[in-house]
Amino acid sequence: MSLEQAREWLGSATAVAVLTGAGISAESGVPVFRGAGGLWKDYRPEDLATPEAFARDPRLVWEWYNWRREAIRQAKPNAGHAALVRLEIQKPRFTLITQNVDGLHDMAGSGRILKLHGDIWRMRCTSCGSNWPDRRVPLPKLPPHCGCGGLARPGVVWFGEPLPEGMMREAEHATLEAQVLLVVGTSAQVYPAAGLIPLAKQAGARVIQVNLEPTPYSGIVDCALEGPAGEILPRLI
């Protein structure tokens, strides 16, 4: 299916949901932490982004997140992020659902965001449960602590942890309401987020996929556009 047809579907829709993944951030220079290139000091993300790793060595985990925060701070939103802001302004009902924790959608100006995997620029106290923003780079002391004296952890969802309470329910609600689901820069292999694609299809929505390469859902979406989000989204929106 052509980009022109996809543009037509998107243009006529009044309710749109967007699902974004690491691909859109990678175009801004944010390192991808999955796959062969996702190593840091010989550690895989799966070895560090777990409650068990944090319990075992909180300083090591925070060294990795400190490095990630420094890498992300160099990045700026790209033309794909900006196009999604324009789409939000155009649509009466719009929800941006992201698997990314880097804050680039916020920086671009997106407002209606569901952050399925949390936010790397927030911290959470493991003692009192407080949750606060902290954009200092580098962090002056590792591991950081809360005002109550408790150990702070990154405000992200780790492997083996549930998504923030109610977040997935909101994402499913937005998907079921949408006439078009736009899926951008995601491998469609991380669940439960990837499950939104068949959910949209079941609800009768058009699904438009924008990705550098095919995904497991390329065969069922209504339109699969291959290429960088920073080039395709401005043409689509």
**Distance (Å, rounded) from C-alpha 92 to C-alpha 90?**
7
- Concerning whether 105 is annotated as a catalytic residue, the answer is no
- Write down the catalytic residue from 81, 117, 145, 173: 117
Give one DSSP letter per residue of the chain, joined into a string.
--HHHHHHHHHH-SEEEEEE-HHHHHTTTPPP-SSTT--BTTB-HHHHSSHHHHHH-HHHHHHHHHHHHHHHHT----HHHHHHHHHHHH-SEEEEEE---S-HHHHHT--SEEETTEEEEEEEETTT--EEE---SS-SSSS-B-TTSPBEEEEEPPTTPPPSTTHHHHHHHHHHH-SEEEEES--S-STTGGGHHHHHHHTT-EEEEEESS--TTTTTSSEEEES-HHHHHHHH-
Any idea which residues carry the catalytic annotation? 117
